[in-house]
């Protein structure tokens, strides 16, 4: 199975089982799922969460509970602007300055309450929470296919805002864990193909996961895959660079 086949299998399973939650359909996005609040609760019980003071989180619906929990715990939260479209592409949510956490953590609220921040001004990130379509227990992650989550890591890694001490986590439903024997819910109908051998190998720019958190458990992946040390410039064409100001600027600086 290639990555898109894995995505389609998971999206279909979440929809067929009635696990998917608004926004609908779950396809072509980081899918929201029943139990997202419970997965967040499990994440907040980990030592990595408790020790973190600064998070970077994705803006998608299933991680809304994570963003709210972080601000309520007094943690700073960075969220990337869609497609890194702004020269200051990260929005900082300051727990001290925000008095309406519920409003500030929605997709529209992040833009209203977040302070645009250049990559070089992002504080060191202790915990990255990524949205996922499919994951494995050894730390592989498949997103929705646009690659921005990995690009965000690469930009921040070049500036040491993330490093080997930064924990990378995701919250997902059990149906999104695709490399184990089927669970009872999988056997009912329409579950993803959980054949580990069929999963594609990670690309060199993929960021491996340390924690996979579901409503039922915390999986410590023990991943030994090297994290990207920076931007893979050879993988970016001129159109992609032109769309992302922060990358275009850095590419121009490198050519001087």
Measured CA distances, 201 to 6, 15, 192, 208, 213 (Å)? 12, 26, 18, 12, 22
Structure confidence at residue 67 (pLDDT): 98
Write the CB contacts of 16 (distance below 8 Å, at least 6 apart in sequence): 189, 190
Give, for all 256 residues of the chain, the pLDDT tens digit: 799 999 999 999 999 999 999 999 999 999 999 999 999 999 999 999 999 999 999 999 999 999 999 999 999 999 999 889 899 999 999 999 999 999 999 999 999 999 999 999 999 999 999 999 999 999 999 999 888 899 999 999 999 999 999 999 999 999 999 987 655 444 444 566 554 445 677 777 899 999 999 999 999 999 999 999 988 888 888 888 888 888 888 776 655 4
Structure confidence at residue 74 (pLDDT): 98
Which SS3 state, helix, strand or coil, does residue 177 take?
strand
Q: Strand 167-171 to strand 211-213: parallel, antiparallel, or no bridges (unpaired)? A: parallel
Domains and CATH numbers, the chain: 3-231 (3.40.50.10420)
pLDDT tens digits for range 129-174: 999 999 999 999 999 988 889 999 999 999 999 999 999 999 999 9
Residue 161 and residue 124 in contact, taking contact as beta carbons nearer than 8 Å? yes
Structure confidence at residue 254 (pLDDT): 55
Helix and strand counts by DSSP (H, E) for the chain: 10, 12
Structure confidence at residue 197 (pLDDT): 42
Question: From CA 204, how far away is CA 206, in angstroms rounded?
Answer: 6
Alpha helices in the chain (DSSP H): 3-16, 36-44, 47-51, 64-72, 101-104, 107-113, 148-158, 184-188, 238-243, 245-255
Structure confidence at residue 196 (pLDDT): 44
pTM higher than the cut 0.75: yes
């Amino acid at each position: 199975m290639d990555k898109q086949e894995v995505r389609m299998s998971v999206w279909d399973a979440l929809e067929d089982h009635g696990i998917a939650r608004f926004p609908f359909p779950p396809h072509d996005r980081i899918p929201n799922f029943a139990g997202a609040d419970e997965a967040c609760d499990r994440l907040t019980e980990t030592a990595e969460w408790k020790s973190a003071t600064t998070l970077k989180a994705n803006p998608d619906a299933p991680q809304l509970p994570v963003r709210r929990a972080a601000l309520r715990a007094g943690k700073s939260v960075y969220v990337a602007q869609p497609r890194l479209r702004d020269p200051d592409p990260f929005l900082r949510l300051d727990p001290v300055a925000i008095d309406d956490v519920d409003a500030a953590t929605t997709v529209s609220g992040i833009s209203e309450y977040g302070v645009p921040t250049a990559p070089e001004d992002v504080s060191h990130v202790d915990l990255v929470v990524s949205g996922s379509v499919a994951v494995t227990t050894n730390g592989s992650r498949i997103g929705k296919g646009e690659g921005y989550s990995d690009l965000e890591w690469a930009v921040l890694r070049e500036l040491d805002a993330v490093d080997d001490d930064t924990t990378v986590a995701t919250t997902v439903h059990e149906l999104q864990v695709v490399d184990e024997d089927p669970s009872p819910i999988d056997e009912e109908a329409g579950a993803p193909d959980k054949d580990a051998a069929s999963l594609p190998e990670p690309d060199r720019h993929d960021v491996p996961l340390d924690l996979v958190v579901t409503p039922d458990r915390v999986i410590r992946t023990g991943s030994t895959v090297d994290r990207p040390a920076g931007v893979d410039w050879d993988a970016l064409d001129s159109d992609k660079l032109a769309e992302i100001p922060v990358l275009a600027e850095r590419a121009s600086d490198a050519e001087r």
